[in-house]
Amino acid sequence: MCLVQFMERNNSMVLRVGLLLLIAATVLTSTVTNAQEVTQDVFWSQWRGPLANGVMPSGDPPVNWSEQQNVRWKVQIPGNGSASPVVWGEKVFVLTAVETGEASEQAVTREGFFSSLRRRIVGATAPTEVIRFMVLALARSDGRVLWQRVATEEFPHEGKHQTGTWASPSAVADEEQICAFFGSRGLYCYDHEGQLLWERDFGDLTIRLGFGEGASPALYGDTIVVNWDHQGQSFITALDKRTGQERWLVERDEATSWSSPLIVEHAGRAQVVTSATNRVRSYDLATGELVWDGAGLTMNAIPTPVADQGIVFLTSGYRGSRLIAVRLADAEGDIDETEAIVWSLDRDTPYVPSPVIHDGILYLLKSNSGVLSAYDAATGQVVYGPERLPGIKSVYASPVAAAGRIYIPSREGATLVIQAGLSLNVLSVNMLEDNFDASPALAGKELYLRGQKFLYCIAEN
């Protein structure tokens, strides 16, 4: 108000400038679904983006591309990883696991005949050599490596799924730091120039069937949340992002899940929402106190919850299908058979890919296939689907959205672009010489696709 009074004492031109400045300041300090500042939504700051729902409000990447068109740069990344790229400022951060070729006695003594046979039957692979767990910072302008750090070199204590990687969890970033999470290998936080600030070791995860690790941390304000569901004692913990000091830790009665926590604000309180097999739960971010819980999802809970307009959507799709839409205004205590559950679904839900929600429509892939359904997020009414998508067969990556479009990468190297809306409208099928399990990242007019070999920056030439 003081600024307006000052401007009123000057001429009308200055007044108009002052009012424009006030409007700009208001926009820059507004809050979004997860209460992060709107200034952050120019950056893909963590798994599922700045709004934690796969949407980049300010994004506008190309619709069409190929190896010869709209590839600003393409850089080979050492090793392998299915962590989503993270973008902050003029840097893109990538996590990767590099096989060193260094054998380990553990590889010989730990793997017997029956263990080896069991792994082959269930589709798991055993570690055979020491792995170098690395963080790379690349320039958004041309893809050159600005710095790289070796977080640790270790022989993994157990195996992974044959389609998985040793670097599956994604990093989180803000204006101060980049925190790289390697599960059993620890959490490593660096400043933007690559100086290690702190690290934390949470122990070793014991993953069901040796299928490997995948849950990413979540960052909200000055708090990092790590969900640690496995075949041992599961827990969820909140840490101070600047020091790594534990703020709270709550034990969980859960088996392995690969779902990352969602942090969402409602009625002035930030909640940590988790998917799992036994129960779905929400915790108070400040204290770790249980806010609400309900019946769990299917086995092998993987998709991360998404939220929009005060409703949280939790889903999974292994050996069954389950989705529940929870209205936060009504969610307290045990939510089973209460009005907090707005609608639910028992078919065509995703196994690995997380949902994306855009302009009031929830988009779901069936299992890991190229079959898409769209639902009215508020009511659960079918908008369209399930419909077979052209050009793609299997999907592990989670769809993302920007500029009224949905981007769906596939394991075969094709990325489908569809128009968001009330009917399936395919805009393009774009093929690259790589395979994509990592979910895309968006920033401005750029789309970042991390393949098994390369990191692509897709932008208008």
pLDDT at 120: 63
pLDDT at 455: 98
Q: What is the mean pLDDT of residues 362-373?
A: 98
Spell out the domain ranges in the chain.
40-458
CB 419 within 8 A of CB 405: yes
Q: Is the pLDDT of residue 42 over 90?
A: no
Range scoring the smallest mean pLDDT among 42-51, 320-329, 357-366? 42-51
Q: Is the pLDDT of residue 195 over 90?
A: yes
Structure tokens at 442: 């968006």
Q: Is the pLDDT of residue 18 over 50?
A: no
Q: Which fold has domain 40-458?
A: Methylamine Dehydrogenase; Chain H (2.130.10)
pLDDT at 27: 32
Q: Which residue has the higher pLDDT, 125 or 270?
A: 270
Number of Cβ within 10 Å of residue 196's Cβ equals: 12
Q: What is the mean pLDDT of residues 447-455?
A: 98
CB 192 within 8 A of CB 88: yes
Grade residue 293 by pLDDT with cuts at 50, 70 and 90.
very high
Grade residue 16 by pLDDT with cuts at 50, 70 and 90.
very low
Give tens-digit pLDDT for 80-94: 999 999 999 999 999
Q: Is the pLDDT of residue 419 over 90?
A: yes
Q: What is the mean pLDDT of residues 200-219?
A: 96
pLDDT at 119: 58
Grade residue 111 by pLDDT with cuts at 50, 70 and 90.
low
pLDDT at 123: 81
pLDDT at 13: 34
pLDDT at 103: 85
Q: What is the mean pLDDT of residues 420-445?
A: 98
Q: What is the mean pLDDT of residues 324-342?
A: 98
Q: Is the pLDDT of residue 351 over 80?
A: yes
Torsion of CA 277, 283, 288, 290, to 10 degrees: -80
Give tens-digit pLDDT for 245-258: 999 999 999 999 99
Grade residue 124 by pLDDT with cuts at 50, 70 and 90.
confident
